[in-house]
Structure formats: structure tokens, C-alpha cells
Amino acid sequence: MKKLEYRILERTKLSVPYCNYCVISDEPVLDNATHELVAYHEDGSTADIGSICADCKKYFKNNNISHCELCGRLMRNRKSCFCDLLKDKPVQSLSTEEITSRTFGYRLEKKTRELEKELSTTKEELNIEREEVVKFHEKSKEWGDEKIKRIKELEAENAKLKEENKQLKEQQNGQVAQIEVKENKRRPWLKLKK
């Protein structure tokens, strides 16, 4: 028998409050079902509707719940199928409106998950970009501080060179004056006219 196509839908008021797929224990957990699990035949008609809890939903998604070899339904309580009970009873099918509303709910749930994933990814990318901007800002501040420090060093060197240049000019003027005095003493007739 071919496996049926299953869809996970939001739990409704008519849903059973306990999970149909949990292993039966001495203390059954009531009101643990979070979703409905609906099976469809190839023609789109409803084959099975069961309530499922969050843990069993994970098992279902990982394909860890057995299927009945006779009807293809998931095994209830992981050990039995109620296909024997349905042999003489017609399968209850959902109205078009119920299927439409559940399908719409499923699509909304799927779109919500996609948007939450996209939001999470965008937040991560934004955090990475923010970190890069902060790093760039820190580096540019560092670079700017280094340039300001270098400019101050160059201004100090320039002032020092100006002072040395001034002292050299004064020395040169003093030496020129000494040479003129010596020349005047040696050759008084060559006195420069001012």
C-alpha cells in the first residue's frame, strides 16, 4: 500500500486534545496536542485526521512514525492502525470550506515560518554589518588619530627647522659682518659705500 500524503494543520475546536501518535503509557498526557495531522488520498479526499503533539510532530517530520502496510496511514500510538474499524464505515470527508480554511491556515503557518526565518537571517546579517561598521569606525578613528599625531609632529619639526634656519641666517649675517670688518682692516681703501 502506498503511503498517504500528510499535512500538518493548526488545531481546531473539534480536534482531540490529546496526541493520537504518542506511545501509550500508564499515565496518558491530556491536552498535549498542538496540531492536526490530516492524511489525503491521491484524489485529494480526506483519509485520516489525527491530533499530534510537538514531540510526535518532530518524529513525523523525521519519518520516525511507522505506516500501516494495509492502508498507508500512520500507526496510532506507534503500534496499531484503526483501518480495521473503518472497513464497514464510510470515511468522513471534510467540506470544501473546511478544507479551504485548513489549507489557508496551513499556508499562513508556512508563510509565517518562512518570514520568521527570513527575519532571523536578516537580523544576523544586520548584526554582522553593524559589527563591520563599528570595526571600520574604530579603524578610521585610529587612522585619523595617527594622522593628527603625524601632522603635529611635522608642524613641530617645521617650527624647529624654521628656528634653525633663523639661527643659521643670523650666524651667516654675523660671519659676513666679521668678514667685512677684516677686509676693511686689511684693505681700508676698498670700503664699501653704503
Render pLDDT for 81-114 as a digit per residue (tens, 0 to 9). Answer: 767 555 555 555 555 566 556 666 667 777 888 8
**Within a domain: 106:** no
State the greatest distance between any 2 C-alpha atoms of the chain, in Å, as a whole number.
149
**Within a domain: 80:** yes
pLDDT at 133 over 60: yes
pTM, 2 dp: 0.39
Percent of the chain with pLDDT over 70: 75
**Within a domain: 190:** no
Its domain, for residue 15, covers: 5-91
Distance CA 160, CA 151 (A): 14
**Within a domain: 186:** no
The total number of structural domains that make up the chain: 1
**Within a domain: 83:** yes
- Give the range among 34-43, 145-154, 179-188 with minimum mean pLDDT: 179-188
Q: Identify the band that residue 70 occupies on the pLDDT scale cut at 50, 70 and 90.
A: confident
Q: How far is CA 100 from CA 14, 84, 115, 120, 135, in A?
A: 16, 29, 22, 30, 52
**Within a domain: 48:** yes
